[in-house]
Chains A and B, each alone.
Chain A
Amino acid sequence: MASILAWFLVAMVVFGLFSPIFDPDFHIMDLPRLAICLVILAIAGVRYELGFMRNRVGDIALGLVAMLAAWLLIATVRLHVGTASAGFWALTAATWAAAWLFVERLASWQVQSPVAKRLLFLAIPAVFGATLLVLWELIVTGAGKPGVGISNALLPSPSEIWLRLSSSLDILWTDFQQTFLKAVLIGYAIGCGSAFLVAILVDRTPFLRRGLLPIGNLVSALPIIGVAPIMVMWFGFDWPSKAAVVVIMTFFPMLVNTVTGLAASEVMQRDLMRTYASDYWQTLLKLRLPMAMPFIFNALKINTTLALIGAIVAEFFGSPISGMGFRISTAVGSMDLDLVWAEIAVAALAGMLFYGLVALIERYVTFWHPSIRG
């Protein structure tokens, strides 16, 4: 696999060197820096097959040169929007192959110290993601409409999205406040909190547990998002209606998971608590709730995504003149796609951070669980 990729890389670089990369006859030889960089890249790629520098220094060199080549390519293609021809696509493919080789080398590194292992664990997906971004930039810019500029393309490039993002921070911040800080967080807190309390109540009465759990399971599979128009009708256009949708969406996963989690402690353990003469609340606080934490956090993590989706979709059904969902639907209407993508980038970032935060808290709370310890 690796050797096929390496020779593919060489073939693509050679092809790119000897054919025009931009349309009216622009050869890579007109740009010696890039040419030299790509030759080094090809050599670094096939060095395993040729049998030299089979070590980490070589691997890192490959990564650095690939980065440099990608940067030079992007800088070049900016000046020749939409005129890419076969040679350029070959070079794009070469960049991809080099990055893939680098990821493959990284994945095969054997490191000892846990810190290094962790860093490597983060670096591999990061390189992979960066590769995707570079490819996106190269392809979109290379295939864009010549003359018009890139900004009218249906799919803007990452750099344009970034420009738009940094130039319209005030709009994005207002939307973020409206959607995330108000609707999502408040709805999430109320939904998860109330479900948690109901779950403890339900757990005390076996009758309710048997009656509510199947219904809760059923409701979890339903397209609850459909209540959004009803909530907008009941609570008006502002954030309370969005928070209400979020409450309903997050309630059932939390309920089902908490009830399941409260049943997770074993009979042996509960018997032990009884021999200690602990009452219901002591057993709940010291045994059953800690045992339920992995389940509860599972629901909390699922709910981070559901909450964001619920709030954004509810805004499609009517909202004041701010909010992520509102901005997305109106900007799509006026074909202002840069702004849409900027908004999506913010939403994605917020979603990942929210999820990451909950996952981090989980690590601290359930430090004893095998999946965290191991």
Chain B
Amino acid sequence: MTDTALSSPRSLSPFAGLMSGTAGPVVVVVLAIIAIWYLGAIALNAAFQQDTYERAGRTDVPLVEFIGDTLAQERPKLPAPHQVAVELWKTTVEKKITSKRSLIHHSTITLSTTLLGFFIGTSLGILLAVGIVHSGVLEKSLMPWVISSQTIPVLAIAPMIIVVLGNSGITGLLPKALISTYLSFFPVTVGMVKGLRSPEVIHMDLMHTYSASRFQTFWKLRLPYALPYLFTSMKIGMAASLVGAIIGELPTGAVAGLGARLLAGSYYGQTIQIWSALFMAAFLAGSLVALIGLTEKLTLKRMGLSR
């Protein structure tokens, strides 16, 4: 970028080099967030701790002990980062995977729902996009509904889909995956429509001079052109799919899955459990999106499309 016109002259401090990239600032911001978190934990948990001391009849507690105690409550209002980390370690590494308390056990359930929903959603999204690109009628009639389908708060329907399908004998992954599907098909449809339309007129004309059939044009020109768009929208779709899977687990009455852990935690006031489930979900989302990013990089590199 030729952004030199407005940028201020570099300072000469030794930190300048370290802080001019992205990594330095990100680390600082993360550290700041953790510091704020600790302060917040102390502030939010202080009232309860004071109460405990009063009940125990202790009046003069040294500050260090007070702070230490606020950060080590069993059911804190806001658990401290290290408490969450310890809980995460306990429930992933130290528990057997088959145990109902193992977070890995619950994550696998959520993960399989997410992947199934994502798979159906992506396939549906691609099919819709192909239809929309090739048929003017579909574009004019269906596309507005695809867009307005997302203004409907679908997650509201989630409990009903689960209960209704459960009553008609369909249980297990599929009902939950359908919610993921609903959330994840939209970005794929929109992205693919854009992608399949992205070849320039001159390329389409070239295919025409080769007297390529519609299918050949689709397979050899449109689809390769759409791939970068597909990967971008798949990342959004994957994140949405995970949200759908978590919400889908709520109305089943907290049986299994990360959503169930959240619900059970909120029933019993187990804040540390909620936070660890939350972090596990974040980790899952991050790694799934990163995985798609990696595939994207490799595929586009092989196709010679990478920038």
Contact = CB atoms under 8 A, between A and B. Distances in A.
Interface string B144-182: 110010111111110110011001100000000000000
A328 B156 contact: yes
A221 B239 contact: yes
A223 B174 CA distance: 20
Interface in B242-264: 242-243, 246-247, 250-251, 258, 262-263
A212 to B, nearest CB: 6
A328 B164 CA distance: 13
B281 interface: yes
A347 B19 CA distance: 47
A328 B77 contact: no
A107 B137 contact: yes
A324 B156 contact: yes
Contact of A107 (B140, B155, B164): B140
A318 to B, nearest CB: 7
A305 B251 contact: no
Contacts of B77: 233-234
Interface stretch (A24-32, A188-196, A348-356): A348-356
Given A222-B286, A332-B163, A229 B242 contact: no
Helix, strand, loop or mixed for chain A's interface? Answer: helix
Interface string B69-95: 000000001000000000000000000
Given A211-B25, A223-B285, A270-B5, A352 B152 contact: yes
Given A129-B145, A352-B152, A230 B250 contact: no
A173 interface: no
A209 B5 CA distance: 18
A35 interface: no
Given A125-B145, A234-B77, A351-B153, A225 B167 contact: no
A313 B286 CA distance: 22
Given A125-B140, A233-B269, A348-B152, A211 B157 contact: no
Interface stretch (A48-56, A75-83, A290-298, A336-344): A336-344
B153 A229 contact: no
A146 interface: no
B282 A229 contact: no
A210 B262 contact: no
Contact of B243 (A104, A128, A223): A223
B26 A313 contact: no
Interface range, B side: 35 or more
A329 B251 contact: yes
Most chain A CB within 10 A, of B3, B7, B24, B140, is at B140
A347 B156 contact: yes
A206 B10 CA distance: 12
B21 interface: yes
B6 interface: yes
A91 to B, nearest CB: 22
A124 B28 contact: no
B202 interface: no
A128 B141 contact: yes
Interface string A218-253: 100111011111101110000000000000000000
A230 B271 contact: yes
Nearest to A327: B156
Interface residues of A, number: 62
A279 interface: no
A178 interface: no
Contacts of B275: 230
B61 interface: no
B41 interface: no
B266 interface: yes
B62 interface: no
A223 B5 contact: no
Contacts of B22: 210-211, 214
A207 interface: yes
B141 A344 contact: no
Interface string B24-57: 1110111001000000000010000000000000
Interface in B198-252: 235-236, 239, 242-243, 246-247, 250-251
B289 interface: yes
A228 B274 CA distance: 10
A223 B288 CA distance: 12
Given A229-B263, A308-B153, A313-B247, A222 B271 contact: no
B291 interface: no
B277 interface: yes
A121 interface: yes
B137 A227 contact: no
A7 interface: no
B127 to A, nearest CB: 17
Given A155-B164, A313-B155, A347-B152, A124 B250 contact: no
B145 A332 contact: no
Interface in A276-314: 304-305, 308-309, 312-313
B298 interface: no
Contact of B153 (A124, A317, A347): A347
A223 B282 contact: yes
Given A211-B26, A223-B242, A312-B155, 4 more contacts: A211-B22, A221-B239, A332-B159, A337-B160
5 contacts: A107-B140, A125-B141, A225-B243, A233-B77, A233-B266
Interface of B: 2-3, 5-7, 19, 21-22, 24-26, 28-30, 33, 44, 77, 136-137, 140-145, 148, 150-157, 159-160, 163-164, 167-168, 235-236, 239, 242-243, 246-247, 250-251, 258, 262-263, 265-266, 269, 271, 274-275, 277-278, 281-282, 285-286, 289
4 shortest interchain CB distances as A-B pairs = A211-B25, A229-B266, A211-B29, A128-B141
